[in-house]
Structure 1
């Protein structure tokens, strides 16, 4: 039971930072915050994503390219470019790292106002740090696992950030419902999003990419946006719209 509590906390904490910091702040600049709080969020990403740590700068750049080229060959993470979700995850990883190391360049217009803490990324993003995090996860499983089959969840823990990105991007361009007719295949995964911090409303997001609240209909509830409202009331961020 304790292991599944850890996995649940890890899932939602990691996804919070990917949804609110990487997606809404880095990629879309939907709110502002001080440099101090920006670096607190960087640390939060490192603690929650661990061995699957993602650079906010590179994530933001890649996601902007996704919006510019949705479902086209230039899309860095489209299920229409790969036959299954695991190959799409590998393609996404390759495109991400090519952007991170500068092997693939992007037009300057996509690089504006991206958060950048290069020194911290060099520390958090290297393979030694990732291996150390894997050691931490093995230790947690050794402490909490009560049956051999529970160790089968360890790979998902190790690649948590990448797994979450794949889950949203594959499912939300394959299955779901549409509130808006679009020129792409974006869909809303769940009518009530209790799994993805509001990222399930992908069709809504593609229709209104600069709207902080991904929910559109009365039964839709965007946990990420509601969290942003709390952060704004605490004086940590300021929502732009």
Structure 2
């Protein structure tokens, strides 16, 4: 039971900060916040993503490219140009590394306005950091695992961030229904979206990329949006007003 609680906690905390900080803040600036709060969110993203920490600058650049070139040959991770999800993940990782290591500069339209913490971003992307987190996960499993099959969950811990991204980018553009004609193949994968905290309402999001609520119809629910509303009410963040 302890292992399953740990796994679910890691899954949802990592995913929350990926959608809240990397996606909705770093990529789209759906809200503003004090610099101290930004640093706290940045640090929590590092802690919760752990061995699979994603650099906010690199993430934001690639995501902005994805919106601009959705499901075209310039899209950094459209599933329609790969035979399987593993090929897509590999190509995405290669593109990500170029921006993470600053070996490639983005086009002007995709640059700027993303959170940067040079020391943390550098350390979080080192092999040493990733290995230390990985050893921590292994030690926790050795201490608390009660069955051998539980150790099969460890690879998911090691690659949590990329796995979340692969699910969203693959499923969110291949399976489900569309509320809007966005000129791409984005879909809403409703039945598994609660496991992805709103990220699989891709069709809605591509229609309204700056809206902090990814749900659009009465039966759709984005679980991160109410959290953001509460944070807005208590003045931790200030949600951006979006013209419909």
- TM-score w.r.t. length of structure 1: 0.97
Describe the SS at the equivalent of 1:235. Answer: coil
| In structure 1, distance between residues paired with 2:4 and 2:237 | 32
Contact 1:192–1:219 (Cα < 8 Å) also in 2? no
SS in 1 for 2:8: helix
Name the CA distance, whole Å, in 1 between partners of 2:166 and 2:230.
28
Structure-to-structure mapping, 1:115-154, within 5 angstroms: 115-154=115-154
State how 1:13-92 maps to structure 2 within 5 Å: 13-92=13-92
Distance across 1 between alignment mates of 2:57 and 2:212? 19
1:224 equivalent in structure 2? 224
On the 8 A contact 1:70/1:184 being kept in 2, the answer is yes
Q: What is the CA-CA distance between 1:112 and the residue it aligns to? A: 2.4
- 1:113-150: CA deviation from partner (whole Å, max 9, x where unpaired): 11111121112111111110110010111122111111
Deviation at 1:193, TM superposition (A): 3.3
SS at 2:80 equivalent: coil
Structure 1: 4+ residue segments shifted above 6 A: none
* Secondary structure of the structure 1 residue equivalent to 2:238: strand
Distance 2:86 2:140 in 1: 26
Offset, 1:174: 0.8
CA contact (8 A) 1:178 1:188 kept: yes
Residue-by-residue CA offset, 1:147-195 (whole Å, 9 max, x unaligned): 1111111001110011001011100111011111221110001158321
* 1:108 positional shift: 1.7
Count of residue pairs the alignment pairs up = 241
Aligned to 2:183: 183
1:105, CA displacement in angstroms? Answer: 2.3
**Alpha-carbon distance in 2 for matches of 1:159, 1:124:** 14
**Secondary structure of 1:32's aligned partner:** strand
Matches within 5 A, 1:87-126: 87-126=87-126
What is the CA distance between 1:9 and its match in structure 2? 0.8
Instruction: Out of 4-13 and 186-195, give the one that drifted further.
Output: 186-195
RMSD: 1.1
Question: 1:155 is matched with which residue?
Answer: 155
In the alignment, the residues of structure 1 paired with residue 220 and residue 195 of structure 2 have an alpha-carbon distance, to the nearest angstrom, of 13
CA distance, structure 2, for counterparts of residue 194 and residue 144 of structure 1: 28
* Maintained 8 Å contact 1:193/1:220: no
| 1:191-206 matches, cutoff 5 A | 193-206=193-206
Q: Which runs of 5+ in 2 are unaligned?
A: none
Per-residue CA deviations over 1:40-80 (Å, capped at 9, x if unaligned) read 01111111100000111111111000001111121111111
